[in-house]
Amino acid sequence: MPTIIDVTELSQRLAAGKRTVLLDVRWVLGDPHGHAHFRQGHIPGAVYVDLPTELADPAEPARGRHPLPPTRTFQEHARAWGIRDGDTVVAYDDAGSTAAARVWWMLRNAGLRSVYLLDGGLRAWREAGLPLAQDEQEPAPGDVVLGQGQMGAVTMAEAADWPEAGILLDARAGERYWGELEPIDPRAGHIPGAVSAPTLENLTPEGKFLPPGILRARFERLGLRPESKVAVYCGSGVTAAHQIAALEIAGFQAALYPGSFSQWSNHTANPVATGPGPWDAEDRADPDNTGAAAGVARMPSGKLSSAEGSVEA
């Protein structure tokens, strides 16, 4: 199934009266006011999804900042959003799908097939001149039955061994990977053997995913091949899901490490590496200038940064 849907296709689908569950997942690290933003304007018919409480268990050091909730709990939330078996679901946010990808991954992992990210999110909807609503409706309860294990998830122990036989991608900003900046987790750096692959580099300046060919070339430069075993982590299992969506667009499959660095760094026995990785700095060539296409600025140190780095989790 396709990973993304554009605003034209979505608006036509809604105008035709085709049943579509719209999930507004506005959330960024450091901004707890997603619901208020939703009330100020959202796609008509959308349901607000609170990422910290509906897409995660409470934070605890042993499991990370956004542990995956039990399937039964997630199913209760999905039914409260009105999802029925066989429904088409479209998730969006206002941060390049970096938050919406969490519910996309969770629903796909639970066995739903027709789940999409709105490419460009709320910004693209607004720029297309499409209407916004400010009302908040309670949908009729759904009856969806959720499973688990359809997308692949790895444990902390598996993440430790992953670089020996596969590729472990770190979706956070380069500064966090290098260990020069850590705004929230107890230790700075990265899982030894991981490859830095900031997920914001998968986007255009407008917050849309880069074309499949450019994404594929980017991941190939990071060492990925069709036969590669790939896993992804970030700070807490949120933006890693965004990286997995970009990988899927590029034709690669990848597993998620849900605990991510917030879990890893809280276990003091786990080693943490700092400094450049195998594809950083001078070794990280960009012959097609995809970094520039993605609106990413190369810093004097050779690391990659972005003005939107605060959205990552």
CATH code of 156-311, in short, is 3.40.250.10
228, 251 contact by CB (below 8 A): no
90, 84 contact by CB (below 8 A): no
Which of 212, 126, 244, 223 lies closest to 166, judged by CA? 223
DSSP per position, 140-191: PP--------SS-B--HHHHHHHHHHSEEEE-S-HHHHHTS--SSSSS-SB-
Write the CB contacts of 285 (distance below 8 Å, at least 6 apart in sequence): 221
CA end-to-end distance (rounded Å), the chain: 27
Q: What is the pLDDT of residue 137?
A: 86
165-197 b/e with 16+ CB inside 10 Å = b? Answer: ebbbbbbbbbbbbbeeebeebebbbbbebbbbb
User: SS3 for 194?
Assistant: coil
CA–CA separation, 109 vs 182, rounded Å?
29
Q: What is the pLDDT of residues 222-250, one digit of tens each?
A: 999 999 999 999 999 999 999 999 999 99
Beta partners for residue 60, in sequence order: 64
pTM score, two decimals? Answer: 0.90
Beta partners for residue 272, in sequence order: none
* Domain regions of the chain by residue span: 4-127, 156-311
Active site residues: 234
pLDDT tens by residue, the chain, 313 residues = 789 999 999 999 999 999 999 999 999 888 889 999 999 999 999 999 999 999 999 999 999 999 999 999 999 999 999 999 999 999 999 999 999 999 999 999 999 999 999 999 999 999 999 999 999 989 999 999 999 999 999 999 999 999 999 999 999 999 999 999 999 999 999 999 999 999 999 999 999 999 999 999 999 999 999 999 999 999 999 999 999 999 999 999 999 999 999 999 999 999 999 998 776 643 444 434 444 333 333 322 333 333 334 456 7
Phi, psi of 138 (to 5 degrees): -95, 115
95, 199 contact by CB (below 8 A): no
Cα–chain-centroid distance for residue 33?
A: 19
Helices vs. strands in the chain: H and E counts, helices first: 12, 11
| Assigned fold of 4-127 | Oxidized Rhodanese; domain 1 (3.40.250)
